Amino acid sequence: MIEVKDLKKIYRVNVKKPGMRGAVQNLFHSEWMEKTAIGGISFQAQEGQALACIGENGAGKSTLIKVLIGILTPTAGEVRVFGKDPRKGGRAYLREIGVVFGQKSNLWIDIPVIESYHAVQTLYRLDRQAFQRNLDQIVELLELEPLLSSPARKLSLGQRMRADIGMVFLHEPKLLFLDEPTIGLDINVKHTIRTFLRRMNQEKGTGILLTSHDLDDIDEICDDAVVLSKGKLIYDGTLDQLKHQYVTEKMVRVTGREREEIRLLLPEARITAEGRTTKVVYQPQQYSSEEVLHAVTRAFEIEDITIQEPDIDEVVSRIFQKGEGT
């Protein structure tokens, strides 16, 4: 599905001199420096695979996606998606992929969501029956019915993201690129989106390349991961291996009355209580986040709940410190 070999992307950046004098000098003589966004990486993803691309800010994740969808031209190396060069795939390639950027909407902002969907039907020349079948499915699974008559500008961030993700599945892409799809969303909307994406991957075989700073996004959607740091590939393997080696603990902090003893529901977790606030510390190999949240919801009359986990920069730092892959 995806083949990346010795990929490099280097930008030429204008060096701006400080002050008024520097500004005048820049008008007549520009100085340039090279900035390496991606420094010679290689990896593969198979058809139907759900692959996470992890890294700190500036690691090269967004640049990689833009190269893979054909927006950016590599400085060196080779990229193939479904055997095609993304820059030369044309309309046929665009029919095979879908793209969702968390901070940018594909919806037309001033018309109802359903009209944006019909525009996609026209753009991709979708058969009426196939379009209606796909529309019915995404409306049900993403709970979109109340949103269809509203223009995108009137939607909340969570509503817009659900509508955006629904729209990209109307033409049944073989491969979906997702860049921070749940950023800024509440826990319920995140759960809806993750469940939908996982279902599309498992039932329709839709391949996924996901970038996210949210470890639960990665954990619940993907099976494998590549990790980038400063444009270099420092990990390429399964998520299970990544979690076992580098993510040691997660924590849920809940405030509220305990109606059922949480220790009985999560016997392997470390439980501490202070007043009405209880901390549940657990290891990812012991329990999934969903199992812990289900147990906490059952055990407490919840007034407030927060989930704490290692920052993705911390995970990348641990990998780098252990010298895994360069």
Q: What is the pLDDT of residue 311?
A: 63
179 plus 260 within the same structural domain: no
**Do 300 and 221 fall into the same domain?**
no
Beta carbons of 48 and 209 less than 8 angstroms apart: no
196 inside domain: yes
The more confidently predicted of residues 176 and 29 is 176
DSSP string for 242-270: HHHHH---EEEEEEEEESS-HHHHSTTSE
Q: What CATH number does residue 273 fall under?
A: 3.30.70.260
- Measured between alpha carbons, how far apart are the two ends of the chain, in Å? 24
**Which domain-ending residue is among 218, 245, 272?**
245
Q: Is residue 211 part of a domain?
A: yes
Residues 185 and 253 in one domain: no
> What's the pLDDT score for residue 133?
95
> Which of 194, 226, 245 is at the close of a domain?
245
CA-based nearest residue to 208, from 229, 228, 192, 224: 224
Q: 68 and 205 share a domain?
A: yes
Asked whether residue 322 is assigned to any structural domain, the reply reads no
User: Does one domain contain both 68 and 194?
Assistant: yes
Together in a domain, 231 and 261:
no
66 and 207 in a single domain? The answer is yes
CATH of the domain at 173: 3.40.50.300
Say if 323 falls within a structural domain: no
Task: Please report which helix (H) or strand (E) contains residue 304, including its range.
Answer: strand 300-308
Question: Is the confidence at residue 90, as pLDDT, over 60?
Answer: yes
Compute the distance between CA of residue 17 and CA of residue 173 in angstroms, rounded to an integer.
47
Domain that holds residue 288: 249-309
Per-residue pLDDT reduced to its tens digit, 197-215 = 999 999 999 999 999 888 8
Residue 326 has pLDDT above 50, yes or no: no
DSSP one-letter string for 68-104: HTTSS--SEEEEEETTB-TTT-HHHHHHHEEEEETTB
31-83: pLDDT as tens digits: 778 889 999 999 999 999 999 998 888 888 989 999 999 999 999 999 999 99
Mean pLDDT, the chain, rounded, equals: 89
- Residue 57 zone, left/alpha/beta (φ > 0; ψ -120 to 50; rest): beta
